[in-house]
């Protein structure tokens, strides 16, 4: 048995960055930029008005006030999207809409609310300063600037700026495909009646949902029955179509745990089997060519927790994400918890935040089959292997699955 941190290191050392893929801008949301984005233009591309009002020469308005407005001749009218040949000279103004190019000669814009228009003359009720309400060429982005580096997470606000730059297509690290095979003669599909001795196949569903939540592409396959032939066929199919293969069950000590034998037969290199942890002790991990294979234990909670702690970081690293781990916080434990030494405990907890401190309470019984306490959890507390007692008030490390809401 190896330690959880050793298992994680072995896994992450095996992970290779995904190949680069060119996608449409909108399809890049949530993925990682696989190129430096250098602007071939200024944003804004021209000096333009930040307001609806009048483009003027600021020095014309010295001393202007509500009582003693300055009067300027209006040369015309310019809306956004149009260009003009107007030349603003001392004593004149051009009516201008937000976003329209500032005309030649003008150095500032007075907003409509500070003016009144009478036929072809405008009264200006305040002093303008040079540059007032003018958005300068390149004030957001300058031509030649590296706007975004390779490796950046693409969020909605990045999408907006990439659109401004005209990046209708861009390169991302291709989201990996994850094949999912649950194993076991006891499994029936979720819409089938339960015969005696049978349970429903829930792991394929929770894993598919976890893969989706990572931004990767799940391919849930059929259930592999507990015989070598059926299991080998499905595993070969899964390996053919995926970057990572996940199996659940069949990696324990049982006579019908055939996953290990099948993978050995296929020539997969076992990187580790068994991790000193609870739940999820029988976790196994192989490489076969450029494919990674996780043998997840079949208990529903072991599956979910091992995905969280081992598979998710691997997938995010493949996708080029900078932050591949859940945020870890120190939290105050609100129970007494005894355990045997030797294995780390991943404990399902509810995390709250109060006065800047995090507090955690158990969400219920912690058996590997008890998914309800996983459903109630927004965090996983990590109790080290050597610890035998955690007391109320002790600090523990917690991996936050969701951000605690009540603070």
State which of positions 48-87 bind a copy of itself (CB under 8 A). Answer: 50-52, 77, 79-83
Consecutive H or E run containing 304: helix 300-306
Q: Is 212 in the site for a copy of itself (CB under 8 A)?
A: yes
Q: For CA atoms 389, 392, 396, 399, give the dihedral sign.
A: positive
Min separation Cβ 319 and a copy of itself, Å: 16
Which of 242, 241, 306, 318 lies closest to 272, judged by CA?
306
Min separation Cβ 152 and a copy of itself, Å: 9
Among 56, 162, 170, 275, binds a copy of itself (CB under 8 A): 162
Which of 316, 305, 296, 278 lies closest to 401, judged by CA?
305
Q: Under 8 Å CB-to-CB from 319, ≥6 apart: which residues?
A: 18, 31, 32, 173, 175, 176, 214, 215, 216
Min separation Cβ 59 and a copy of itself, Å: 24
Please list every residue from 252 through 271 that binds a copy of itself, using CB under 8 A: 252-257
Please list every residue from 272 through 291 that binds a copy of itself, using CB under 8 A: none
Min separation Cβ 285 and a copy of itself, Å: 20
Task: Select the span of 6-14, 123-131, 178-186, 259-267 touching a copy of itself (CB under 8 A).
Answer: 178-186
Among 3, 200, 274, 395, binds a copy of itself (CB under 8 A): 200
Residue 201 phi, psi dihedral angles, 5° rounding: -75, 95
Q: Is 201 in the site for a copy of itself (CB under 8 A)?
A: yes
Which is nearer to a copy of itself, 90 or 322 (by Cβ)? 322
Q: Is 141 in the site for a copy of itself (CB under 8 A)?
A: yes
Q: Is 296 in the site for a copy of itself (CB under 8 A)?
A: no
Among 31, 54, 86, 148, binds a copy of itself (CB under 8 A): 148
Min separation Cβ 183 and a copy of itself, Å: 10
CA distance 223 to 218: 15
Q: What is the number of other CB atoms lying within 10 angstroms of the CB of residue 87? A: 12
For tokens 């941190």, what's the residue? 5
- Kindly provide the residue ranges of all beta strands, DSSP E only, lying in 79-150, ordered along the sequence: 92-96, 108-111, 115-118, 121-124, 134-135, 146-148
Min separation Cβ 69 and a copy of itself, Å: 18
């Amino acid at each position: 048995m190896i330690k959880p941190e050793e298992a994680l290191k072995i896994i992450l050392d095996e992970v290779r960055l995904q190949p680069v893929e060119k996608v449409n801008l909108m399809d890049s949301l949530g993925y990682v930029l696989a190129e430096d984005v250098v602007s071939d233009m200024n944003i804004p591309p021209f000096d333009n008005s930040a307001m609806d009002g009048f483009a003027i020469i600021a020095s014309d308005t010295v001393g202007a006030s509500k009582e003693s407005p300055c009067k300027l001749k209006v040369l015309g009218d310019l809306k956004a999207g149009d260009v003009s040949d107007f030349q603003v000279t001392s004593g004149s103004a051009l009516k201008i809409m937000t976003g329209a190019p500032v005309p030649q000669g003008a150095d500032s814009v007075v907003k409509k609310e500070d003016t009144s228009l009478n036929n072809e003359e405008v009264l200006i009720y305040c002093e303008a300063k040079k540059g007032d309400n003018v958005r300068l060429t390149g004030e957001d982005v300058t031509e030649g600037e590296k706007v975004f580096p390779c490796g950046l997470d693409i969020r909605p606000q990045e999408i907006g700026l990439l659109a401004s730059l005209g990046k209708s297509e861009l390169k991302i690290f291709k989201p990996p495909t994850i094949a999912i095979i649950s194993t076991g003669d006891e499994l029936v599909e979720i819409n089938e009646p339960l015969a005696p001795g049978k349970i429903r196949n829930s792991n394929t569903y929770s894993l598919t949902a976890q893969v989706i939540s990572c931004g990767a592409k799940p391919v849930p396959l059929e259930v592999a029955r507990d015989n070598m032939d059926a299991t080998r066929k499905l595993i070969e199919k899964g390996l053919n179509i995926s970057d990572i293969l996940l199996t659940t069950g069949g990696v324990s000590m049982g006579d019908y745990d055939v996953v290990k034998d099948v993978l050995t037969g296929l020539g997969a290199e076992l990187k580790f089997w068994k991790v000193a942890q609870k739940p999820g002790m029988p976790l196994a991990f192989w490489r076969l060519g450029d494919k990674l294979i996780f043998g997840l234990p079949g208990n529903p909670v072991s599956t979910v927790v091992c995905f969280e702690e081992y598979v998710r970081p691997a997938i995010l690293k493949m996708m080029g994400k900078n932050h591949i781990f859940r945020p870890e916080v120190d939290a105050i434990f609100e129970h007494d918890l005894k355990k045997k030494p030797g294995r780390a405990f991943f404990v399902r907890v509810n995390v709250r935040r109060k006065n800047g401190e995090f507090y955690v309470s158990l969400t219920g019984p912690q058996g590997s089959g008890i998914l309800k306490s996983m459903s109630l959890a927004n965090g996983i507390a990590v109790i080290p292997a050597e610890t035998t007692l955690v007391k109320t008030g002790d600090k523990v490390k917690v991996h936050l699955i969701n951000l605690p809401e009540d603070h």
